[in-house]
Amino acid sequence: MTEQGQMQCYFCGGEVVERLITHFRQTPRGTAEFRGVPCEVCLVCGEKYFSPAAIRRMEALSSMPAQEYVQLPAYNYA
């Protein structure tokens, strides 16, 4: 924490702020998109910090039927 009580990034020391983000996560059913996930994000390097409650909620949601299915473009880098 800084003197003002603001969290600092573990990796770069940058300022970390609370945000609602869209997060992609591997689940037993494949890659899933989670919208409106609360987390803390480093303004310098972009590192994300999720609370245990947020992780548990994403795990619980991934075992339920999806609310929506989207198509994503896929590319072979090689």
CB within 8 A of 15, min separation 6: which ones? 2, 6, 7, 8, 9, 42, 43, 44
Structural domain contains residue 25: yes
pLDDT digits (tens, 9 = 90+) for 12-45: 999 999 999 999 999 888 899 999 999 999 999 9
Structural domain contains residue 70: no
Structural domain contains residue 26: yes
pLDDT, greater one: 71 or 42: 42
Q: Which domain holds residue 32?
A: 20-42+55-65
Domains identified in the chain, total number? 1
* Cα distances (angstroms) measured from residue 22 to each of 5, 19, 48, 67: 26, 10, 11, 15
Structural domain contains residue 48: no
- Per-residue pLDDT, 4: 65
- Per-residue pLDDT, 78: 84
Of 58-62, 64-68, 70-74, give the lowest mean pLDDT range. Answer: 70-74
